[in-house]
Structure 1
Amino acid sequence: MSFNLRSVALAAAVLLFGAAAHAAPVVKGPEHGTLIIAGGGKLGPEILGRFINLAGGPSAEIVVIPTAGGEAKYGPDCDCLKIFKELGATHLTILHTTDRKEADSEAFVAPLKRAKAVWFVGGRQWHLVDSYLSTRTETEIHNLLARGGVAGGTSAGASIQASYMVRGAKAGNEVLMAPGYEQGFGLITGAGVDQHVTARHREGDLDALVKAHPDLLGIGIDQSTAIEVKRDSFKVLGAGHVFIHDGKEQPNGGHYYLLGAGDGFDLTTLTSTAKR
């Protein structure tokens, strides 16, 4: 029997490429620090209180970024501060600009260099991209985590934390994947994060994301629910569910399964460590 070495090599390459293309996502939380990624709606003390505790308590310096809300200016009376004040937080700083040059300045990022925590308010993700992506502001957010701090956010402030940003289209949040607005801050990598899942009937939406991008894990989060992410795992906080989209067929007919409050998830093995 004779062998065509070129054909054998080509077939091997195709097999290797196919295996690589369908390899499991590599998902990682921050090397240091913690993320609180919330699905919108009313957030209870089990979520916001946890965020404040991770920051170091009510006296910790917390930066609040309301830019996703789309307003030109935010003052000290901003509603975005109310939820933290109600839980006793006393050192709150609003950081906001629509000017990328300002966002890239040393003066603007000074509060982030002092802070123990940063919170991204909800709204539309693309505002955060237009203002902060690839600026010193984004760099200092990563640096804050490297110091062992905590970054959190809800709704748009959840999706921006992932390496793949869903629903970034300026045309509307019905568009799941929007060319030009698909890159988030990458605080958690190898994943895309959706929010308001049950309230907006988005249960199966991330199936399309993991089909188009099999190198990503889809994480959908209900309102009043959050995940607390460390380097190689997360746990679920709050009242609703977290939807894990891994591309594998599930009994529900989709490619997702549910986690509830207290459940954990191993980012290395991509398996749940459910409490029940």
Structure 2
Amino acid sequence: MDEKVKGNLIIIGGAEDKEGECAILNYVASTVKKSKNSMLIITTATQKPQEVFSTYERVFKRLGIGEVDTLDINDREKANDSVNVTKVYNAGGIFFTGGDQLRITSILGGTKVNDALADVYKKGTVIAGTSAGASAMSSTMIVGGEADTPKKSGLSMAPGLSFIHEVVIDQHFAQRGRIGRLLYAVAQNPYTLGIGIDEDTAIVVDGKGLFHVIGNNSVTVVDAKNIRHSNISELNQGDVLELIGVTLHVLSPGSGFDLTRREPILKGGL
């Protein structure tokens, strides 16, 4: 089995504090500064790249990052530009903003910038992402779907950036009531772990396949590997999903999870 994680990831559930203590973004900044005091902000997900970049530039400079640059790629030609590839290789850390995760993968997928991102990630560059940038981290990502009773109603999934394998990530989780669609997502492939990350909350994932929770809210892990019954293969449009034997963990800041053993780690055990 391929390794689930090959580098350092900070996956943020969106709406992280940018004005107060900025606990999550400060963690990102302090982690990046251990190697090289520079940050590359990838704004591909948003259609307001300059506005979004300016916000993160201001925050990260206030948090002590010496150089903050932008990778404003909105078409595949730019994603194959050698100048942009060089920016990826020169960055101390990389940060994906929110927006639409399908923009990230449809514009960057299969390009030279995508290859460079995969390369630096394997070599240890810290990669962080918030909201859409969080969903895009996994090998399979949710790109749309109703957040209500789990039923066959048009959940959309697509290949992600594949920084982390055998999981599917949902963001703005508790705030937007997304437990139903995460249950439906893991029902389609019970070996895939579902990870729902609340706003102003993040998971910090290391190369050993362990993560710990930081921020102010919770992370929900849905494990359907050992379900005893599912009706997903018999559903017609609008039918309600039935899953028996799902394991659900709700983790608070300071606790963590072993992705390989599929076991939670209580505070103090990391």
Task: Tell me by how many angstroms 1:97 deviates.
Answer: 1.6
> Is 1:162–2:138 an aligned residue pair?
yes
Whole-Å Cα distance in 2 between the matches of residues 26 and 155 of structure 1? 26
Greater relative contact order, per chain length (Cα 8 Å cut-off, separation 6+): 1
Aligned to 1:242: 219
Task: Tell me by how many angstroms 1:59 deviates.
Answer: 6.4
Aligned to 2:72: 96
Task: Decide whether aligned partners of structure 1 residues 176 and 189 sit closer, same or farther in structure 2, where only a CA change above 3 A counts.
Answer: farther
SS where residue 193 of structure 1 aligns? strand
- TM-score when normalising by structure 1: 0.79
Counterpart among 178, 188, 202 of residue 164 in structure 2: 188
Whole-Å Cα distance in 1 between the matches of residues 2 and 186 of structure 2? 13
Aligned to 2:39: 62
Task: Tell me by how many angstroms 1:58 deviates.
Answer: 10
| Contact 1:163–1:191 (8 Å) recurs in 2 | yes
Whole-Å Cα distance in 2 between the matches of residues 155 and 254 of structure 1? 25
> Is 1:41–2:15 an aligned residue pair?
yes
For structure 2, the residue ranges without an aligned partner over 5 or more in a row are 148-152, 228-244
| Contact 1:26–1:216 (8 Å) recurs in 2 | no
For structure 1, the residue ranges without an aligned partner over 5 or more in a row are 1-24
Task: Decide whether aligned partners of structure 1 residues 37 and 155 sit closer, same or farther in structure 2, where only a CA change above 3 A counts.
Answer: same
Whole-Å Cα distance in 1 between the matches of residues 47 and 3 of structure 2? 30
Task: Tell me by how many angstroms 1:256 deviates.
Answer: 2.3
RMSD: 2.6
Counterpart among 144, 151, 156 of residue 127 in structure 2: 151
> Any residues of structure 2 matched to 1:102-121 within 5 Å, and which?
102-121=78-97
Whole-Å Cα distance in 1 between the matches of residues 219 and 199 of structure 2? 10
Task: Tell me by how many angstroms 1:178 deviates.
Answer: 2.0
Whole-Å Cα distance in 2 between the matches of residues 77 and 165 of structure 1? 24
| Contact 2:33–2:65 (8 Å) recurs in 1 | no
SS where residue 188 of structure 1 aligns? coil
Figure out how many residues of one structure are paired with residues of the other and give that number. Answer: 242
| Contact 1:70–1:127 (8 Å) recurs in 2 | no
